[in-house]
Chain A
């Protein structure tokens, strides 16, 4: 088991290294000069050259890359060209917001997807199954921004049921301690703020969770139907176990295996989806930061963020693999 983990961690290193090269080259090819983005209309050739020099942009590309890599290895992700704040600092403030949104979406997707999938699997091809299929196809095919704006329009603008935009009402002036909106609200000791923070989370979590919800539902359904036809399920019923026990223990324990893998993979696409969702719902998380940084040609931020996202993605996959091994004794003991 330990060797398995070590091997997987070592395997991630070349991936990250290659990615850093690709990113570095790619961002230099994007149109637009960062110096112009910083200077705006006041750009003169002298000023531009000056900025290039301070940023090291006048050096050959490989020197720029090696400098960048050297900094990275010291844990220094560089600073934003625009506001000169260290990427790591801004990240520490913004990342909790994205995490909260992602967790909210995941809870929505898994919490609803697994029961829905089990319900559909109970009577395959019945009308419930058909309904669930239609809903999940809808969830997969509708773009996040369409769903996001539609939800916001209906529930916030028209019905005034839920707040929009942002992660919490700024008038509550909750002290940012952990930068997780809900945790900060709890720490503020104001129950109203906690309710408000939760209410703000609902719509974006649904928008972001719709695709994973559909996928989790489909996989759960397929997996449960699959396992239900196994011989050992027949054995379990022949032993006179109650239906509930057969479902919960004999079917679900096995059906979980593919479902966990898929949930893990969804974390990656959730981080990607957060870019859109945060923009739609005005959440100051990492996702919306990526968008503004691209608009500002703030390539240091963009390349660092993509690298961080990739690292997170690889880490999550690793955790999923280990979790899978833990759930499945055939792997655990081999």
Chain B
């Protein structure tokens, strides 16, 4: 979305394609037209994402008017329609309220209504429910998936909650330290987790179907400092499977099975993984390496981390 201010937020390289157009190449005004209209975004914390001194009406109407030639009363009618669509009671009155008069869940509904105001093709939801109560989380997620389906809006859901991933998504990219380390349809990812980080995530989360007494296996260590580019695999310092080459080179994101054609998207997306030493299926379900005598390769001296 190119929202982060420079110089802190910088695009290092690569392409960001949206409908065949590389977003990096757009100038600021073209990008602005895309924001909100084609690509909308909702954020993590609904308590701080709405402007406290403007009414909901002002904030919704300005969104609509930023992209559409429309009279104030039409925009207002649309805002009312949107609010009732996301399940806010008495939308006419609520429109005149300020954000602090709404609960967290309600504010996130307002955010969703605002994001969907122009029926965008893509909605990026950045941890949309992390700040909410568990029961509200479920309602908001249900609403989000239903509305996205109704409007034909694709959703990129950013979350650390694997339960949400399993329930809401069709395809998953597992990211670590800014890199996609595993990519697959969600069903396949859960059936056959192939990257040590994915395996670690699955084993550090309590599940209802776990065997009694089966321990949770936390991922040791802390995420790396993103300001420094890693040498080798970014997950290496925390990985139980690492081999010597992990310290030296970044593993490429490659299909699990050798194939001629790689599908990036859709229900038939190719399962890909970036790892030099992939856990086997047994190891994945055990959550640790099972090979006899295997120990994680020690950090080479002078690697400069």
Residue numbers of A with Cβ under 8 A of B are 230-243, 245, 249-250, 253-254, 327-330, 333
Stretch from B29-37, B179-187, B247-255, B292-300 at the A interface = B29-37
Q: Which of B19-46 contact A (CB under 8 A)?
A: 28, 32-37, 40-41, 43, 45
CB of B63 within 8 A of CB of A239, answer yes
Closest to B32 in A: A240
Residues of B within 8 A of A245 (CB): 62, 66
* C-alpha spacing A330/B67, complex, angstroms: 30
Q: A239-B63, A245-B62, A250-B51 are in contact. List 6 more A-B contacts (CB 8 A).
A: A232-B48, A238-B35, A240-B34, A240-B37, A243-B28, A249-B62
* C-alpha spacing A330/B101, complex, angstroms: 9
Please give the distance in Å from B20's CB to the nearest CB on chain A: 20
Residues of B within 8 A of A241 (CB): 32, 36, 62-63, 66
CB of B35 within 8 A of CB of A329, answer no
CB of A238 within 8 A of CB of B100, answer no
Residues of B within 8 A of A243 (CB): 28, 32
* C-alpha spacing A329/B45, complex, angstroms: 20
CB of B54 within 8 A of CB of A235, answer no
Given A232-B50, A249-B54, A250-B54, do A238 and B98 touch, yes or no (CB 8 Å)?
A: no
Residues of B within 8 A of A253 (CB): 51, 53-54
* C-alpha spacing A241/B37, complex, angstroms: 10
Residues of B within 8 A of A236 (CB): 51
* C-alpha spacing A254/B54, complex, angstroms: 9
Closest to A234 in B: B3
Given A232-B49, A330-B98, A330-B100, do A238 and B40 touch, yes or no (CB 8 Å)?
A: yes
**A–B complex contacts, Cβ < 8 Å, 24 sampled:** A230-B48, A231-B49, A232-B52, A233-B51, A234-B43, A235-B41, A235-B50, A235-B111, A238-B1, A239-B35, A239-B36, A239-B114, A240-B34, A240-B67, A241-B32, A241-B63, A242-B66, A249-B62, A250-B51, A253-B51, A253-B53, A253-B54, A333-B98, A333-B101
Residues of A within 8 A of B3 (CB): 234, 237-238
* C-alpha spacing A243/B35, complex, angstroms: 12
Residue numbers of B with Cβ under 8 A of A are 1, 3, 28, 32-37, 40-41, 43, 45, 48-54, 62-63, 66-67, 98, 100-101, 111, 114
CB of A254 within 8 A of CB of B35, answer no
Please give the distance in Å from A270's CB to the nearest CB on chain B: 27
Residues of B within 8 A of A233 (CB): 51
Residues of A within 8 A of B40 (CB): 238-239
Closest to A257 in B: B53
Given A245-B66, A249-B54, A250-B54, do A235 and B34 touch, yes or no (CB 8 Å)?
A: no
Please give the distance in Å from A255's CB to the nearest CB on chain B: 10
Residues of B within 8 A of A249 (CB): 54, 62
* C-alpha spacing A232/B98, complex, angstroms: 13
CB of A240 within 8 A of CB of B66, answer yes
Residues of A within 8 A of B48 (CB): 230-232
Residues of B within 8 A of A329 (CB): 52-53, 98, 100
* C-alpha spacing A240/B28, complex, angstroms: 10
Residues of A within 8 A of B67 (CB): 240
Given A240-B37, A330-B98, do A231 and B63 touch, yes or no (CB 8 Å)?
A: no
Residues of A within 8 A of B101 (CB): 333
Please give the distance in Å from B138's CB to the nearest CB on chain A: 24
Residues of A within 8 A of B66 (CB): 239-242, 245
Please give the distance in Å from B120's CB to the nearest CB on chain A: 10
CB of B49 within 8 A of CB of A240, answer no
* C-alpha spacing A182/B280, complex, angstroms: 89
Please give the distance in Å from B6's CB to the nearest CB on chain A: 11
CB of B52 within 8 A of CB of A238, answer no
* C-alpha spacing A236/B98, complex, angstroms: 16
Please give the distance in Å from A245's CB to the nearest CB on chain B: 7
Residues of B within 8 A of A234 (CB): 3, 43, 49
